[in-house]
Amino acid sequence: MFHKTKSLAHTAMALTIGAGAAHAQEAEVIHFWTSGGESAAISVIAEAFEERGGNWVDNAIAGGSAARGAAINRIIGGDPSTAALFNTSQQYHEIIGEGLLNDIDGVANRNDWDNVLPAPIVDAIKVDGKYYAAPVNIHMPLWLWYSSDALQEAGIESPPETMEEFFAALDALQEAGITPLALGGQRWQENLLFSAMMTNVGGHDLWTSVYADKDEAAINSPEFREVIETFIRLKQYVDDASPGRNWNDTTAMLISDEAGFQFMGDWAKGEFKQADQEIGVDYGCLPGLRADSPYVLGGDVFVFPRTDDPAQIEAQTMLVETITAPDVQVSFNNLKGSIPIRSDVDATALDECAALGMEILSDPSRQAPDASQMMEEYVYGSVQDIITELWNTDMSVDEAVSRFDSALRN
């Protein structure tokens, strides 16, 4: 009872609060998967956990930052949940540094995560030689989607494979009176477009040397300038009503064939599926615009707050095993639109785009970390401020370079 009052004080938003360590294998999980497809996906994990004899206490909080804020407040307040959902990033690295998370080395080593998981994911969840988070899925945020009908109407025979072909297609679409590039003018979507230019124009090396190494020479290199110039060049292909538009309204422009292309994560597939569109017939997905385009690995992970209660630690271990089990991975990711974290699963159940993603992922040289894994949150925030200003004002390339330089190397 005392536990209950205390947790209510810590998080006013948490409505379903378990009484801490009342039973063995009771796991209270804070997550932010509240939309239709998302909650269907997490219930796969919940059911699998209960089949193994656990008791899943669901604590869904709408909005990623609200859910993470609640989880962190509970951790600091000394009454943490059993597990909490974060993005595969540096969001939880500071709480690891403060010693507030339990490591899950036992399960990780038993299942040979060092070799089963892609290297960028390992880098994001392994800190000082210990595993602190269990990955659930891999989202690739930089897919290029296209409307087959719009391309056909503009006389484009096959989808572009290089940046030159991409720009030729954009011109053809513009001439045909179709919005060439669908973009929702919100900070994160503009940032996503810039990232796509980094990976497709600059390539793997520039992506990591600018964002991870924060290398002065790379930031001031002609290659990075070319990325900025290409980004600026895209402005003319976006419609006037773009600012403020949501990503799903933007995807709807492709579904109704009003626009040709959109850069968006694999979650956009859900929108096409809901509108009864068929891959390869009504729309298509391109992983990149160069043969060796990096496959950026975003996604979600569960972290396990520090506790000395053996029953809770047991529940945490069981959660990790459930989340990463091959059968759970396949059915979860099919509903979520992402791809499994491990390559040793049955890929036949996956759709065309996901299967293509799995295939690219099997080549380690094309695996790349997401930008949020290479920078602390506040640095990434200032980078996004520069990108949105670059897109919406007449900032010169020189100024952009010097702003990136001071934001990244500060």
Partner 1 sequence: MQTAQLTWHVRRNAVAYLALLPMAAIVVFAYLGTMAWSIRLSFSSSRLLPRNDFVGFAQYTELFGTSRWLTSLENFAFIAVFFLAICFVLGTLLAIFIDQNVRAEGLFRTAFLYPYAMSMVVTGLMWQWILNPDLGIERTMRDMGFSGFVLDWVVNSNTVLYAVVLATVWHGAGLVMALLLAGLRGIDTDLWKATRIDGIPAWRVYAFIILPILRPMIVTSLVLLSISIVKMYDLIVAMTNGGPGNASEVPAKFIMDNLFERANIGLATAASTTMLVTVLLIIAPVLYSQYLGKKGSSA
Which residues contact partner 1 (rule: CB under 8 A)? 65-66, 69, 72, 76, 91, 94-95, 98, 185-187, 240-245, 376-378, 380-382, 385, 388-389, 391-393, 403
| Partners of 279 in the β-ladder | 283
Residue with tokens 């096959």: 158
Nearer to partner 1, 94 or 164 (CB): 94
Taking the complex as a whole, the smallest distance from the CB of residue 207 to partner 1 amounts, in Å, to 22
DSSP H or E stretch at residue 47: helix 36-51
Q: Which is nearer to partner 1, 76 or 349 (CB)?
A: 76
> Comparing C-alpha atoms, which of 280, 266, 296 is closest to residue 369?
296
Closest separation in Å from C-beta 107 to partner 1: 26
Nearer to partner 1, 359 or 376 (CB): 376
At closest approach, how far in Å is the CB of 64 from partner 1?
9
Question: C-beta of 186: minimal distance to partner 1 in Å?
Answer: 6
Nearest distance in Å: CB 78, partner 1: 14
Q: Are 323 and 83 in contact (CB under 8 A)?
A: no
Quick one: DSSP state of residue 365?
G
Nearer to partner 1, 19 or 395 (CB): 395
CB of 398 to partner 1, least distance (A): 15
User: Could you give the CA distance from residue 77 to residue 216 in angstroms, rounded to a whole number?
Assistant: 41
Q: What is the largest CA-CA distance in the chain?
A: 69
43 or 186: whose CB is closer to partner 1? 186
Phi then psi dihedrals of residue 25, to 5 deg = 60, 25
- The 10 Å Cβ neighbour count of residue 221 is 17
Burial of 80 from C-beta contacts in 10 A (0-12 / 13-18 / 19+)? buried
In terms of CB distance, is 63 or 280 closer to partner 1? 63
**DSSP string of 105-166?**
HHHHHHTTHHHHS-HHHHHHHEETTEE-EEEEEEE-TTEEEEEHHHHHHTT--S---SHHHH
Residues comprising the chain, all counted: 410
Residue 192 makes CB contacts below 8 A (sequence gap 6+) with: 141, 142, 263, 264, 265
Nearest approach, Cβ of 323 to partner 1 (angstroms)? 24
Nearer to partner 1, 240 or 308 (CB): 240
Q: Which is nearer to partner 1, 36 or 381 (CB)?
A: 381
**Minimum separation from the CB atom of position 392 to partner 1 (A):** 3
Measured between alpha carbons, how far is 140 from 297 in angstroms, rounded to an integer? 5
